[in-house]
Structure 1
Amino acid sequence: MTIDAKGLLAIRSQILERNDVLSRAGTPQAATKPDFGNVMESAMQAVNTQQSRASQASAAYERGETTDIAAVMLQRQKASIGFEATMQVRNRLLTAYKDIMNMPV
């Protein structure tokens, strides 16, 4: 089996086309990967928003603007669960950081 120049050039152009298609296909995925800091910041903002809603609901109940105690308690419980989850993530991150710092080099 012999490979002539035309066949070799055709194979080369196919490889280059496939490489170009693959590189274009990989670029958007790399751009859409979330940054850890951004994910943590958005999670903290969500917890803060929930805490604010719970505070507003409690204040509205205390002022007599609403009589739905179940909705107020539900908002407070959501805020509490979000805060506890945030604390658990923080504790796990600190533990991981300490473990990494204690690793021998």
Structure 2
Amino acid sequence: MSGISGIGGGAGGVQQIMQMRQQIIQRNDLLKQLHSTQGADATAVAGPAQTQEPAQGFADTLKNALDGVSSVQAKADGLTEAYQKGEVTDVAKVMLARQEAGVAFEATLQVRNKLLSAYQDIMRMGV
């Protein structure tokens, strides 16, 4: 049963990823608005005031998501080690924990790839 509760923790990770996705979409919309604005004064005034606070929230969200993945992997490693020592006999519980850690890592890798791609797209934009 504790393996099932671990999956619920993965749902929290999915929620965090969805929040990060929403923040990326909002920033993209903001960049489109700034890009379409013709006046340089409007860009200078609107840019810094709106981007500082979400950046801090995004960083916190990303850190929390990475901490969650790290804890899932540590739990899986602990269960694997306990199984190897003979302390845990439920192989299904161990395999479920390993699978959950693998899925969490893969999701993190995909988010990293998307963030890197978005960063590269932004760096290619003409100013």
TM > 0.5 fold call: yes
How far apart, CA to CA, are the structure 2 residues paired with 1:71 and 1:50? 13
Higher share of residues assigned helix: 2
Question: Partner of 2:65: helix, strand, or coil?
Answer: helix
How far apart, CA to CA, are the structure 1 residues paired with 2:88 and 2:66? 28
For the pair shown, the structure with the greater C-alpha radius of gyration is: 1
Instruction: String of CA shifts for 1:26-76, please: whole Å, max 9, x gaps.
Output: xxxxxxxx8000000000000000000000000000000011000000000
Aligned residues: 73
Provide the residue aligned with 1:18 in structure 2.
none
Higher RCO (Cα < 8 Å, 6 or more apart): 2
Provide the residue aligned with 1:56 in structure 2.
78
CA RMSD of aligned residues (A): 1.4
Provide the residue aligned with 2:99 in structure 1.
77
Question: Deviation at 1:97?
Answer: 0.3
1:1-105 aligned within 5 A: 35-105=57-127
Moved over 6 A (4+): none
Question: Deviation at 1:104?
Answer: 1.2
Amino acid at match of 2:100: K
How far apart, CA to CA, are the structure 2 residues paired with 1:37 and 1:81? 22
* Unaligned segments of structure 1, at least 5 residues: 1-33
Amino acid at match of 1:97: Y
Taking structure 2 as the reference length, the TM-score comes to 0.56
Taking structure 1 as the reference length, the TM-score comes to 0.67
**Quick one: percent identity of the two aligned structures?**
49
How far apart, CA to CA, are the structure 1 residues paired with 2:119 and 2:80? 37
